[in-house]
């Protein structure tokens, strides 16, 4: 799908990858851009920078996603590209993670994608075209050491994006799934941890990859090239892959399980 002239909505647009996407879409001559975030103050600043719009929303709530779609239909007369980019790291570990912690990260990292697709697909199918960009993580392909909720939800996000692509890809609906490793955002401000094993990328670099994927209708976006190689190794011999990950876990054990 050509980005130029399109109506774009980005969640998690107040900072990081979302902010970089907003700026990149403007540079690519998108017709309209809506910045969605719980932090409406920062989202508004980004929107003003690109002559766009800002909407406050908690993407983990279905009613907020419906509100965003309705307001965007009113503000920019429809949606061509929806970047479901907002996400959270959630609680690390597993044994100390409460049911409430699991529900919170599940709502933001998985259900937000589901809500967006559920309520956007009817109008996109009716207009004959539309594009969904779901931000997941390399953790969803490879596993996130030390963080069960993050790993599980990002894996589910990838699976859902793939299902949408399989089911609606030949009906005018484009789908891309973003799976980077460490990116310089608020999530990594205290350091990239294990995810930084192949270096930290800037959000602007990631945004370029996303726009290129939309233009070429590429499903999987892996800004860190090593991720594809790791995925192939995992698919070829999962037992060997798990043993390698166990060795990596021992290497980072002090970081993953800090002393109390």
Q: How confident is the model at residue 259 (pLDDT cuts 50, 70, 90)?
A: very low
Backbone phi, psi, residue 232, to 5°: -65, -40
What CATH code is assigned to 7-256?
A: 3.40.50.720
Would you say residue 186 has pLDDT above 90?
no
How far apart CA 177 and CA 161 sit, in angstroms, is 6
Which residues are catalytic, by number? 150
Residue 146 has pLDDT above 50, yes or no: yes
Ordered by start, the domain boundaries in the chain are: 7-256
Of the candidates 200, 216, 198, the one whose C-alpha atom is nearest the C-alpha of residue 208 is 216
Q: Tokens for 50?
A: 């690109």
91-95, 163-167, 217-221: least confident range: 91-95
Report the pLDDT value the prediction gives residue 260, as an integer from 0 to 100. Answer: 45
Per-residue pLDDT tens digits for 112-138:
999 999 999 999 999 999 999 999 999
């Amino acid at each position: 799908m050509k980005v130029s002239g399109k109506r774009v909505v980005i969640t998690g647009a107040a900072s990081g990858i979302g902010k970089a996407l907003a700026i990149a879409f403007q540079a690519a001559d998108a017709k309209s851009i809506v910045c969605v975030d719980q932090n409406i103050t920062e989202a508004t600043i980004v929107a003003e920078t690109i002559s766009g719009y800002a909407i406050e929303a908690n993407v983990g709530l279905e009613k907020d996603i419906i509100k965003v779609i309705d307001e965007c239909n009113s503000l920019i007369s429809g949606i061509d590209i929806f970047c479901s980019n907002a996400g959270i790291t959630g609680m690390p570990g597993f044994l100390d993670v409460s049911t409430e912690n699991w529900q919170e990260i599940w709502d933001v990292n998985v259900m937000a994608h589901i809500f967006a697709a559920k309520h956007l697909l009817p109008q996109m199918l009716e207009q004959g075209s539309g594009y969904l960009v779901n931000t997941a993580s390399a953790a969803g392909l490879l596993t996130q050491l030390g963080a069960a909720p993050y790993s599980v939800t990002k894996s589910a996000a990838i699976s859902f994006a793939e299902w949408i692509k399989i089911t609606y890809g030949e009906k005018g609906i484009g789908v891309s799934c973003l799976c980077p490793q460490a990116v310089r955002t608020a999530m990594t401000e205290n350091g990239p941890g294990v995810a930084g094993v192949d270096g930290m990328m800037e959000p602007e670099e990631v945004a370029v990859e996303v726009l290129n994927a939309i233009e070429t209708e590429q499903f999987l976006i892996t800004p860190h090239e090593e991720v594809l190689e790791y995925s192939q190794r995992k698919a070829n011999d999962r037992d060997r892959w798990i043993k390698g990950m166990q060795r990596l876990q021992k290497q980072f054990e002090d970081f993953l399980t800090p002393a109390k």
